[in-house]
Each structure stands twice: as structure tokens, then as C-alpha cells.
Amino acid sequence: MTQVIHRRRTGDLRTVLPVTLKQADATGTLQVVNLTGLTVEFTMINAATGAVKITQTSTGVTVVAAASGTVNYEFSADGVDTAGVYWGTFVVIQSDEEDSFPVAQQGLKILIDSDTQTAEQAYAEQVAA
């Protein structure tokens, strides 16, 4: 699996996080997930501390093209207020069943830089604390 990296700066809200959700079929080939009629939510966890930065929510999630598994996440101000490294996950819900994308927790890496620190510097500082 290829890691997707999304980099932004604290306070930046204009650019969305675009993702195409895929999962392996019976042969192991990645196929897009048809999101027609499904709910998609997003969550984000601080990689250094394990703290939940964005609690699982559908707020900010837009299904751009359901049949081709394309979604956008539009960050809120409190989602991009702290520099650091984060793991993002999209959760697809059908009735009371969920699937997470990407499956590997480190598959969607979100790097938030500040005016004074790179995401990696903030991560190292948080780990050392």
C-alpha cells in the first residue's frame, strides 16, 4: 500500500483533502469503493500522542463522485490549529457496519506545519515531552 501524504499549514482552510477510497478485491487488486448510498466520516489522530484531533464525523466530508469512491475532507479551524504529524482515516458506514480507509493506520499521513515549525519538528517535540 502506498502512503498518501497531505501537507498544509496551521490555519489554512481553503484546500481540501482529496482521497479516492480503494480496497482489495478477491484477487488482491485494488478497486475503488462505490459509495452510493453510504455514509462517509473522517477522523484524525495525533501520531505523537495518540490523542484524537478530529472525532469521527461526517461534518466536512463531501462525496465528490460516489461510484468512483472520491471524497474530500474540508478542515475546520480547530483541525488545523496545531503543528504536527497526524493519521487520517475515512470511515464508510452501511447500516451499523463500518470499514476504515486506509486500512493501515499510517496510510494517510497529514503533516501540519506552523510559521515556526515543520510538522516533523513539532512531532519530535511532542514525542520528547
pLDDT on residue 84: 98
Give the tens place of pLDDT for each residue, 41-81.
999 999 999 999 999 999 999 999 999 999 999 999 999 99
Instruction: Tell me how far the alpha carbon of residue 27 is from its chain's centroid.
Output: 26
Task: Compute the distance between CA of residue 121 and CA of residue 44 in angstroms, rounded to an integer.
Answer: 19
Residue reference for cell 515531552 = 129
**Mean pLDDT value across the chain:** 94
Q: What is the dihedral of CA 69, 34, 65, 105, to 10 degrees?
A: -20
- List phi, psi (to 5°) of 32: -65, 150
Where along the chain do its domains lie? 4-128
The total number of residues written for the chain in this structure: 129
CATH of 4-128, picked from 1.10.357.10, 2.60.40.3350, 2.60.40.10, 3.40.50.1820, is 2.60.40.3350
Task: Compute the distance between CA of residue 122 and CA of residue 35 in angstroms, rounded to an integer.
Answer: 35
pTM value is 0.92
